Every structure is written in structure tokens, then in C-alpha cells.
């Protein structure tokens, strides 16, 4: 077994390290700890936090990648398989390898489609053949016989990645440009406003589609750089996060600009200016901490939107790689099967339910965070 | 007023120019015309002559910004940037990769798009605002709390689910409406897309309007209106709704011109021959000429929406003067 670090895995590690560092810094700060304690005091906050951490653990397990060592003759150099697996794949081996021929209903014992089977009396007739693993598929199997539960669990990482890495890309733009526009005003403000009006004026899906099409062509042109299928779809996923981030910073930037516009006239900023504190220090020490609540609220609120956006973008054809397991691709692959008789509903249902639980938990959690952090909504509900 | 309009139109030029430069950079500099030719020719037929032939057939065989070979004005005019990008300002969209005129396609597909988008917009707005006012009317009761929970649940459901479930239930199971298709003047084809479109954003929109009205009812004029004995309904519908008009218009008017572009998902699922399905087909066929035209058209309509928003303020609030 040899560990493999995909680019997205590296970014996840970076994200975790940043979070850990922030927590370490904030561990003795009562003003920072108090709102979180408030979130965790309520039942809704606790339950949604539990659900989210379940999803996150599955996503993290699915981010520890490795390639299997092939059995080799003694004395020969070690050979590795071409397929990149994750710790989650390892844990789910029983349902991952129990592949059927095609669709089968949840917990069914027989296949969905009729075939010629040999009866006990030796006569061949059309019937539903026995599954190789009857009753083993909690959510049934998909068109090529893969277990739907396995697919759903694998989709979680894709959804979480899009939700979190996009934020990572978007934050520097939104923070830097938004605060700078509000604080400096004048020319700087004009240029930044022009930038985000221009970006905003392009219909969102079209801008993303345009950028993804370009990235797709570039990946195809440099196919030799990405040797495994996993690396290829990984790059495409990262590109998608990058594009969503570069096009998605305008909303938060606008909020931050308005807030910085207000803050720069307040006494503590004026006092800092009077003492001769430089712009950089004022931005970093006086403005940034005072807009952090807005940033946090927006980030948590945006997360659920991004998870939902993945499905739509994959349907349009500009989402993640078609070969990557994601909620969008699961829905896309099964949406026409409702026209069949009998209806193939389990794959759609599983994708929608897994996504619904994640997004609902994220939305409810976001509301709790907002109530705890936003001075305006404090004590209102 | 006229001065204001002229200034706004002039302000639109640099934005459209920016959009133009951005798409030009994406589609011609990051992605060269050679890349484009390679995609369309397919991996098997890529030879230098085939690429050159494809480029000249589709008008891509010119330099990007400066044409050294041309004389005089042609140095700047006979280039890809002028040919493919600046022409958009004259609404000259050129031809798609299949040779069809994009402007004509847009003209003929606008109707079906509007037939879906306009009713969806109108019915939706009416429904969301009334529903939000209803929740505000019952604020503090279980009805309001239940309504909010319902909204959060509805907005956590993927938009694709509404379309798929709607088609399955209303089309296949109950046979109320045809599953997909379009015929000019036939209302049966319109009901389901409109219904699905309206239901799809109940969650988001109602919550948005509810929080907007909540901010409004905390103000002094509401207390005054109640104190002089007006009924709660009258307070809500006349005073609160009237005063919340500015933030409502801010969010609503800007999207009206964009209704022309239709909805990608709805149109493609329901087989509506509008601009949304045109765009989605172009994306899937990697027809960059159409995508570029739609980007330009989209930002043009967005800027029109911004101007309309400002104009609508003067109608909603007599204090607003555009100078």
C-alpha cells in the first residue's frame, strides 16, 4: 500500500491546518468562544453539528488515498495497481465489490430485468435472474450494477469539497477587495466596483460554463500531465472550485465594502489613524476582526448553495468530471429511468435524500450561527 | 432625467467592454482558435491543413489584436477582436458553428422563453409576497414557526428534484399535463414548467421577503398606524408593503429583462425551444460563438435591469429624483 496525495487532499489538509490554528489562537478568547457555545446549547445546533460532523468524517475518510500493492513474486520490485482508492473504499469493500449486472431494487433478491435463465428442470425461460448478492444492497444498484449506498457515500466528498474549497478561493478576493474598496474609497473603490459589476453582469451559469469549457479544453490539450483518471477528475474538480470562487466573491465583497465604509468613520479607527498607525495595520488589526462575523455567516450560508449548485452544473454539463462520483452525476444518470416500467426510483431517491439531509443540516446550522453572531438578529427570535 | 439616462448608458459601455474583453480572453487567448478547431475536427482528423481550413471557414484565421499584413485602418480593424467581439455591440452575433445565424435563432426563441419565464415570474412574485405577509401576520405563532421550517426544508431540496418529481407526478402518474413539449398558444404545455418554477423557489424567496417585512414592522410608522386604529391587515398591506417596495424592487426589477434568456434547467427538461435550451445545447456542443453571444446579451440585459431599477424607484417613492 502506498499513500497518494491528490491535489484536493493537500488542500483539505491545508484547510484543516488553518482551522486548527484558528481554534488554537481562539481557545482563550471568551468573545470568540461565547457565540459557539450558544450555537451548541440549542438542540437544533447540537443535532445539526452532529450530522455535519458525520458527513465531514465520511468525506475525510474518503480523502485518504492510496494505491494497492499488487502481489509480486519475491525479489522483484513492488508493483502498484493503477486504481487510486481511499480509506472509505477500504472500509466499504464488501458493498464496493458486490457488483451486479444492472439495476436491482433495494434489498431485492432478483435482478430488475428479465433474462434467459436455466430453470431447475433444465428448461430455459425468461425470468428475473437471482442476484449474486441477494439482499445486500440497501439502496439497490445502478445501471451498471454498482451499489447505490456506496455511490451516495462517495458523493459526499465531492459535495463537501465544492462547498469548502470554493470558499477558500473566494475569501481572499472578497476580503481583500471588499475591505479595500470600503476603506480607501475614491479610485480604488471605483475600480473594484467596476470589477464586480462587470462580473455580476454576466449570467452566473454562463460565466461558469465559459470558464469550465476553457479548462476542459486545456486539460484535454495537456492530457499527459494527469496520468490517472483520479488525478484528471481531481484537477477538473479543483478547477471548478476555482472558477466558482473567482466568480462568487462579489456578494460578500459588497457586504464587506459597506461594512468597511461604516467602520472607517468610527472613533477607534480614527484614533488609530491619529496615532499614525499605517493602513496595513489598521486593515489587519482593526477592520478585519470587526467584519469576521459577516464573513463567517456568509461562508456557512453559501456552503449549502454550493452543494446544490454542483448537481445543477453537472446536469448542464459543466460540473465535475462525468466519471467522478457525485450527487449531480448520480441524478443525471438516473433521471430518465423514471420513464421505465416498473420505475427505477432508488438511485434518484438516495441522491436526493443524502443531499437533502446535508443541505438541511447546513442551512439550520447556518441559521444558528447567524443568530449567535449577528448583533442585529441577537435576541430577536 | 434625460441627463441621468445618458450617463447610465455611457456607464454601461466600459462594463460591456469589460465583459467583452473577459470572454475574448477566455475564448481566444487561453483557448486558441487552434484548440477550437481540434475539438470540432475530432482527434482523428487533426492535420495542419484541416485546422487551417476549419479556421478560415469559420472566420478564425486572423490575428488577435493587430493585423500586420493589412494596410491603414485595417491594422486594427481586420482582427479577431473586432470581428468576433466588438461586433457584438451592434448586436451582430454572426453564425453558429453549424452555420445558422445566431441573431435569427435568438429572435425566434425569445417567444417560448418568455411564455414560460413571464408567468413564472409574475405568479411567483405574487405568491411569495403574499405568503411572506401571511407569515408576518401570524408572527410569534406556531403557524409562522412552521412556515419558516417549511421554507428551510423547501430550500434544502435540489432544484432538479422539483422538476423530476413534477414531471413524474403530474405528467406520468396523474396525466394532468403533457410531460414535455411546446406548441405556440397551447397553454397545456406551459402549466407544469410554470408550476415547477414557482414551487422551486418558494423557500428562498418567502424567507427573503419575510425577513424584509420583519425589518419594516419594527419601525415607528407601523406603531403610529396601529395607534390610530388601523386594522393589522391594512397596516401590513398598505403601509408595510408600500414601504418595503424599495428593497423589493431592488431585487425584482433587475431580473425582468433577463427573463428573455429563459431558464436553462426548466427549458431543457420540458423541451421548450427557448433561449435557455439553446444555451444549454451550445454548452454541450461546445459552440463558443453562441456562448459568447449569450454572455454579451445577458450582461446587456442586466445593465438594462439596473437602469430600470432606478427608474422604478421614482415610481415607488416620490422622494427619489434621478439627477
CATH number at residue A290: 1.10.3720.10
Res B49: pLDDT: 81
Closest approach of B151 to chain A, Cα-based (Å): 11
Task: Mean pLDDT check: name the lowest of A319-323, A376-380, B156-160, B186-190.
Answer: A376-380
User: Cβ neighbours of residue B58 under 8 Å, at least 6 residues apart?
Assistant: B97
Domain that holds residue B114: 102-316
Both A23 and A44 in one domain: the answer is yes
d(CA A106, CA A336): 19
Residue B108 pLDDT class (50, 70, 90 cuts): very high
What number is the average pLDDT over the span B288-305? 90
Instruction: Please name every residue paired with A69 in a beta bridge, in sequence order, or none if there are none.
Output: A80
Both A250 and A202 in one domain: the answer is yes
Both B155 and B264 in one domain: the answer is yes
Please tell me the total number of residues recorded for chain A in this structure.
Answer: 381
Both A283 and A226 in one domain: the answer is yes
Across the interface, do B156 and A363 touch by the CB < 8 Å criterion?
A: yes
Residues of B in contact with A348 (CB under 8 A): 164
User: Cβ neighbours of residue A124 under 8 Å, at least 6 residues apart?
Assistant: A116, A117, A118
Task: Using CA coordinates, name the residue in chain B closest to A312.
Answer: B160
Closest CA to B283 of A58, A47, A313: A313
Across the interface, do B19 and A363 touch by the CB < 8 Å criterion?
A: no
Both B128 and B156 in one domain: the answer is yes
Q: In this structure, is residue B304 part of a structural domain? A: yes
Domain that holds residue A120: 104-136
Res A2: pLDDT: 83
Both A125 and A185 in one domain: the answer is no
Across the interface, do B156 and A359 touch by the CB < 8 Å criterion?
A: yes
Res B61: pLDDT: 74
Both B48 and B132 in one domain: the answer is no
Res A292: pLDDT: 84
Closest CA to B216 of B198, B238, B187: B238
pLDDT at B280 over 80: yes
Both B112 and B83 in one domain: the answer is no
Which string of DSSP letters, residue by residue, matches B128-176? Answer: HHHHHHHHHHTTTSHHHHHHHHHHHHHHTS-HHHHHHHHIIIIIIIS--
d(CA A83, CA A66): 9
Chain B contact for A211 (CB, 8 A cutoff) = yes
Res B43: pLDDT: 64
Chain B contact for A315 (CB, 8 A cutoff) = yes
Q: In this structure, is residue B13 part of a structural domain? A: yes
Query: What are B165's three cell numbers?
Result: 418529481
Both B214 and B80 in one domain: the answer is no
Both A62 and A179 in one domain: the answer is yes
Task: Using CA coordinates, name the residue in chain A closest to B262.
Answer: A203
Both A118 and A195 in one domain: the answer is no
Among B51, B66, B90, residue at a domain's last position: B90
Both A95 and A122 in one domain: the answer is no
Both A284 and A318 in one domain: the answer is yes
Both B78 and B118 in one domain: the answer is no
Closest CA to A2 of A79, A105, A63: A79
**How far lies B244's CA from each of A149, A200, A370, B105, B219, in Å?**
47, 24, 23, 40, 11
Across the interface, do A198 and B155 touch by the CB < 8 Å criterion?
A: no
pLDDT at B73 over 70: no
Res B83: pLDDT: 74
What number is the average pLDDT over the span B304-317? 88
φ, ψ (nearest 5 deg) of residue A66: -155, 165
Q: In this structure, is residue B56 part of a structural domain? A: yes
Count of domains observed in chain A: 2
What is the CB-side half-sphere exposure of residue B176 using CA atoms within 13 A? Answer: 12
d(CA B54, CA B216): 61
Q: In this structure, is residue A366 part of a structural domain? A: yes
Both B298 and B151 in one domain: the answer is yes
Both A351 and A377 in one domain: the answer is yes
Task: Using CA coordinates, name the residue in chain B closest to A364.
Answer: B152
Both B270 and B128 in one domain: the answer is yes
Count of domains observed in chain B: 2
Residues of B in contact with A350 (CB under 8 A): none
Res B72: pLDDT: 66
Both B7 and B106 in one domain: the answer is no
Both B46 and B142 in one domain: the answer is no
Q: Is A107 helix (H, G, I), strand (E, B) or coil?
A: coil
The ipTM (two decimal places) reads 0.87
Mean pLDDT of chain B: 87
Query: What are B200's three cell numbers?
Result: 422551486
Across the interface, do B261 and A203 touch by the CB < 8 Å criterion?
A: yes
Q: Which residues of A21-55 are buried (b: 16+ CB within 10 A; e: fewer)?
A: eeeeeeeeeeeeeebbebbeeeeebeebbebbeeb
- Average pLDDT along chain A, 381 residues, taken 10 residues at a time: 86 90 84 84 92 95 86 72 83 84 82 76 78 82 87 93 91 93 91 91 86 82 75 87 91 92 89 90 88 85 90 87 90 82 87 94 90 66 43
What's the CATH number where B208 sits? 1.10.3720.10
Would you say A272 and A282 are in contact if contact means Cβ atoms under 8 Å apart?
yes
Both B81 and B121 in one domain: the answer is no
Across the interface, do B168 and A364 touch by the CB < 8 Å criterion?
A: no
Both A152 and A80 in one domain: the answer is yes
What is the CB-side half-sphere exposure of residue A301 using CA atoms within 13 A? Answer: 17
Both B121 and B38 in one domain: the answer is no
Across the interface, do B158 and A202 touch by the CB < 8 Å criterion?
A: no
Q: Whole-prediction pTM value?
A: 0.89
d(CA B73, CA B76): 6
Q: Is B287 helix (H, G, I), strand (E, B) or coil?
A: coil
Q: Strands (DSSP E) along chain A, which ranges?
A: 2-4, 65-70, 79-86, 115-118, 124-127
Q: Which of B26, B160, B303 sits opposite A210 (nearest CB)?
A: B26
Task: Using CA coordinates, name the residue in chain A closest to B306.
Answer: A201
One-letter-per-residue 3-state SS of B109-138: HHHHHHHHHHHHHHHHHHHHHHHHHHHHHC
Both A128 and A177 in one domain: the answer is no
Both A116 and A20 in one domain: the answer is no
Amino acid at each position: 500500500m502506498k499513500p497518494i496525495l491528490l491535489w484536493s487532499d493537500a488542500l483539505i489538509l491545508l484547510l484543516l491546518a488553518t482551522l486548527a490554528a484558528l481554534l488554537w489562537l481562539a481557545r482563550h478568547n471568551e468573545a470568540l468562544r461565547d457565540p459557539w457555545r450558544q450555537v451548541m446549547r440549542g438542540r437544533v445546533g447540537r443535532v445539526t453539528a452532529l450530522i455535519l460532523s458525520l458527513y465531514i468524517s465520511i468525506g475525510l475518510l474518503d480523502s485518504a488515498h492510496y494505491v494497492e500493492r499488487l502481489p509480486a513474486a519475491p525479489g522483484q520490485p513492488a508493483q502498484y495497481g493503477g486504481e487510486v482508492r481511499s480509506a472509505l473504499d477500504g472500509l466499504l469493500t464488501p458493498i464496493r465489490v458486490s457488483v451486479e449486472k444492472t439495476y436491482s431494487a433495494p434489498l431485492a433478491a432478483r435482478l430488475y430485468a428479465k433474462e434467459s435463465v436455466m430453470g431447475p428442470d433444465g428448461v430455459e425461460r425468461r425470468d428475473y435472474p437471482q442476484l449474486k448478492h441477494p439482499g445486500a444492497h440497501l439502496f439497490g444498484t445502478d445501471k451498471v450494477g454498482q451499489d447505490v449506498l456506496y455511490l451516495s457515500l462517495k458523493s459526499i466528498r465531492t459535495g463537501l469539497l465544492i462547498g469548502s474549497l470554493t470558499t477558500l478561493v473566494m475569501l481572499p478576493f472578497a476580503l481583500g477587495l471588499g475591505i479595500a474598496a470600503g476603506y480607501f474609497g475614491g479610485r480604488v473603490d471605483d475600480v473594484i466596483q467596476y470589477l464586480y459589476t462587470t462580473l455580476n453582469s454576466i449570467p452566473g451559469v454562463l460565466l461558469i460554463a465559459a470558464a469550465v469549457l476553457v479548462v476542459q479544453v486545456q486539460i484535454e490539450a495537456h492530457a499527459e500531465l494527469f496520468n490517472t483518471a483520479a488525478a484528471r477528475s481531481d484537477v477538473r474538480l479543483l478547477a471548478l472550485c476555482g472558477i466558482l470562487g473567482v466568480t462568487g466573491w462579489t456578494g460578500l465583497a459588497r457586504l464587506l465594502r459597506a461594512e468597511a465604509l461604516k467602520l472607517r468613520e468610527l472613533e477607534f479607527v480614527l484614533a488609530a489613524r491619529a496615532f499614525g498607525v499605517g493602513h496595513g495595520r489598521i486593515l489587519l488589526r482593526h477592520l478585519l476582526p470587526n467584519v469576521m462575523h459577516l464573513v463567517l455567516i456568509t461562508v456557512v450560508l453559501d456552503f449549502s448553495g454550493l452543494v446544490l449548485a454542483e448537481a445543477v452544473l453537472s446536469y448542464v454539463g459543466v460540473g465535475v468530471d462525468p466519471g467522478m462520483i457525485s450527487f449531480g452525476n448520480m441524478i443525471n444518470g438516473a433521471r430518465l429511468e423514471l420513464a421505465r416500467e416498473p420505475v427505477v426510483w432508488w438511485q434518484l431517491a438516495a441522491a436526493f435524500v443524502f443531499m437533502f439531509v446535508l443541505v438541511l443540516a447546513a442551512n439550520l446550522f447556518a441559521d444558528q450561527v447567524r443568530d449567535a453572531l449577528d448583533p442585529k438578529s441577537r435576541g430577536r427570535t | 432625467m434625460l441627463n441621468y439616462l445618458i450617463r447610465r448608458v455611457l456607464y454601461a459601455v466600459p462594463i460591456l467592454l469589460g465583459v467583452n474583453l473577459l470572454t475574448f480572453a477566455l475564448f481566444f487567448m487561453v483557448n486558441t482558435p487552434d484548440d477550437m478547431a481540434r475539438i470540432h475536427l475530432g482527434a482523428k482528423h487533426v492535420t495542419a491543413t484541416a485546422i487551417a481550413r476549419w479556421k478560415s471557414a469559420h472566420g478564425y484565421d486572423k490575428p488577435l489584436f493587430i493585423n500586420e499584413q493589412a494596410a491603414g485602418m485595417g491594422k486594427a480593424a481586420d482582427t479577431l477582436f473586432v470581428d468576433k467581439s466588438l461586433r457584438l455591440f451592434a448586436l451582430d452575433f454572426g453564425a453558429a458553428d453549424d452555420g445558422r445565424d445566431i441573431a435569427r435563432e435568438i429572435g425566434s426563441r425569445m417567444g417560448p422563453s418568455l411564455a414560460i419565464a413571464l408567468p413564472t415570474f409574475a405568479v411567483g412574485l405574487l405568491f411569495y409576497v403574499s405568503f411572506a405577509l401571511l407569515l408576518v401576520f401570524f408572527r410569534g405563532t406556531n403557524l409562522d414557526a412552521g412556515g419558516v421550517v417549511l421554507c428551510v426544508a423547501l430550500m434544502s431540496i435540489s432544484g432538479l428534484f422539483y422538476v423530476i418529481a413534477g414531471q413524474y407526478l403530474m405528467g406520468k402518474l396523474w396525466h394532468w399535463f403533457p410531460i414535455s413539449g411546446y406548441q405556440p398558444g397551447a397553454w397545456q404545455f406551459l402549466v407544469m414548467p410554470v408550476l415547477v418554477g414557482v414551487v422551486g423557489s418558494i423557500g428562498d424567496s418567502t424567507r427573503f421577503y419575510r425577513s424584509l417585512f420583519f425589518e419594516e414592522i419594527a419601525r415607528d410608522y407601523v406603531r403610529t398606524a396601529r395607534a390610530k386604529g388601523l386594522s393589522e391587515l391594512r397596516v401590513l398591506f398598505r403601509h408595510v408593503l408600500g414601504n418595503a417596495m424599495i428593497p423589493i424592487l431592488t431585487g425584482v426589477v433587475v431580473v425582468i429583462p433577463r427573463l428573455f434568456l429563459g431558464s436553462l434547467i426548466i427549458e431543457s427538461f420540458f423541451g421548450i425551444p427557448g433561449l435557455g435550451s439553446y444555451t444549454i445545447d451550445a454548452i454541450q456542443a461546445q459552440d463558443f460563438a453562441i456562448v459568447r453571444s449569450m454572455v454579451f446579451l445577458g450582461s446587456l440585459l442586466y445593465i438594462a435591469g439596473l437602469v430600470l431599477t432606478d427608474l422604478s424607484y421614482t415610481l415607488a417613492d416620490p422622494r427619489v429624483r434621478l439627477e
